A = this chain, B = another copy of it.
Amino acid sequence: MAFLTDLTSEKRWDVHNSSVPRVCMSCEARHHGICGSLREDELLELSRHSFQSEHQPGEELIGDAEDVDSYATVLSGVVKLTKILQDGRQQVVGLQFAPDFLGRLFAKQSSLNADAASKVRLCRLPKGSIEQLVKNNPKLEAKLFEQTLRELDEAREWMVTLGRKTASEKVASFLYLIASHVDPTRQTGSVSFELPLSRTDIADFLGLTIETVSRQFTKLRSTHVIEVQNHRHITVGSLEYLRDLCG
């Protein structure tokens, strides 16, 4: 019982392990996320004021034009960034995976919603602390800059998909994107995964209707490019062939 308490105590840290806070020890974000750019004392201080939160699919994480008092790191799951027009038409403008940083630094009025697409775990980080750290730690700023540049590349890549690809190329591109995130190293062969997005979300991501998305899935299934176990669980037979279908 004492052991369990240790594990879950946010304030404890292991003196044998170069003073990394206990909660952060097994955290992916500590290595590849923004926390990797922090000094040990900074990480310790930050960990005192941060906490984890869990969210169900569809739950709103950051509302449009809402004042938020915390940033976050995605620990697991997929967060979708969306924009909506007055009449309700919706577009997904970005997906965030672990260990992405969540929240718009120096936000003006970017009118953007962040929702849990799948079940999501976050590590909430107080707004003030982060902004303070960014000012004093160039490595952290560089890390955030880097993520922003990557997001910009991804956004532009997606503009090509939205503007110039056919429905079947769009769906293929989406599947390829997800497959790439499941196992970034694998470039060929077969991959199996759970789709983190509903058909509605996929449609909003691709600028299509759910019916069209559904028809394209059916087409891919009947041409044996994919197998569909239960709507969400997909197996891609050949990544390189799927890649060819992306246009």
Which residues in A have some Cβ–Cβ distance to B below 8 Å?
81, 83, 85-87, 89-91, 93-94, 104-106, 110, 112, 138, 141-142, 144-146, 148-149, 151-153, 155-160, 162-165, 204, 206-207, 247
Chain B residues with Cβ below 8 Å from A155 are 152, 155-156, 159
Q: State the CA gap A91–B94 with chains docked (Å).
A: 18
Closest B residue to A146 using CB positions: B106
Chain B residues with Cβ below 8 Å from A85 are 160, 164-165, 247
29 A-B pairs in the complex with CB atoms less than 8 angstroms apart: A81-B156, A85-B164, A87-B247, A89-B165, A90-B164, A91-B160, A93-B156, A93-B159, A93-B160, A94-B156, A104-B149, A106-B149, A138-B141, A141-B141, A141-B142, A144-B145, A145-B145, A145-B148, A148-B149, A148-B152, A151-B152, A152-B155, A155-B156, A155-B159, A159-B162, A162-B162, A162-B207, A163-B204, A164-B207
Chain B residues with Cβ below 8 Å from A156 are 81, 83, 93-94, 110, 112, 155
Q: State the CA gap A144–B145 with chains docked (Å).
A: 9
Chain B residues with Cβ below 8 Å from A145 are 141, 144-145, 148
